[in-house]
Amino acid sequence: MPIRRAEELIATLPGIISVRIVPNETGAVEEIHVLTTDLVAPKNTVRNIESALMAQLGIRVNHRKISIATTLDGLRPRVGTARILAVLEPRSNTMKLGVHRDTLAPALSAADRVWFHRPADLGWDLEAAAASLGTKAETVGEIDALVARLAAEARDGDHVLVMSNGGFGGLHGKLLAALGRG
């Protein structure tokens, strides 16, 4: 498989900042890691990658092999000086394996406050990965406790950015209810 050509193709898609493809021992795609702006929703970015690889190179890739990291740099200009409260659930396989642990803090540094959900089955030190964010970052093991902390901190005009590739334990609805908007 032409890894370089596939990376070049993916890099031309809307919102893509950088891309790295990790091949397995036979040269087939094992993982695709992409850093994006907020121009395109992550699910749409995954679909765009799948479609482009199939249409241009005849390569079929399972969407579960694609990991998307979105930078907050795209959100900051849209919200100006308003606070950004970022909440992340390391749910994907690449997150659980710690593939992004060294890039989490830099990717979230534009947020004013950051909360990480710390699932019991996470196999790496989330607190250490978040340490460079200092006091603006917090890790929480229970969803209800995370909702309580977010609701206590959030105020009118804040932008809450929730990042997960799953249901996040119902966090969205629970947070809206806690804020009196659900």
How do residues 19-29 score in pLDDT, each as one tens digit? 889 898 998 89
pLDDT over threshold 70, residue 17:
yes
State the Cα–Cα distance between residues 95 and 43, nearest whole angstrom: 16
* Domain termination site, one of 12, 45, 70: 70
Higher pLDDT, 166 or 175: 175
Q: Are 31 and 11 in contact (CB under 8 A)?
A: no
Residues 63 and 109 in one domain: no
Give the per-residue pLDDT at 182.
Answer: 58
CATH number (domain holding residue 126): 3.90.190.20
Residues 107 and 149 in one domain: yes
State the Cα–Cα distance between residues 129 and 104, nearest whole angstrom: 7
Range of the domain at 164: 72-178
pLDDT over threshold 90, residue 37:
no
Residues 66 and 100 in one domain: no
Count: domains in the chain: 2
pLDDT over threshold 70, residue 1:
no
Banded pLDDT at 90 (limits 50, 70, 90): confident
Torsion of CA 75, 76, 80, 83, to 10 degrees: 90
Give the per-residue pLDDT at 181.
Answer: 75
Answer yes or no: pTM beyond 0.75.
no
Residues 27 and 109 in one domain: no
Give the per-residue pLDDT at 85.
Answer: 95
109-153: per-residue pLDDT in tens?
889 999 999 988 888 999 999 999 999 999 999 999 999 999 999
Could you identify the residue written with the tokens 């979230």? 108
* Average confidence score pLDDT of the chain: 88
Residues 140 and 113 in one domain: yes
Positive or negative, the Cα torsion across 170, 165, 38, 152? positive
Give the per-residue pLDDT at 2.
Answer: 86
CATH number (domain holding residue 46): 3.30.300.30
Residues 99 and 156 in one domain: yes
Tell me the H-state helices in 58-142.
76-79, 93-96, 104-108, 126-130
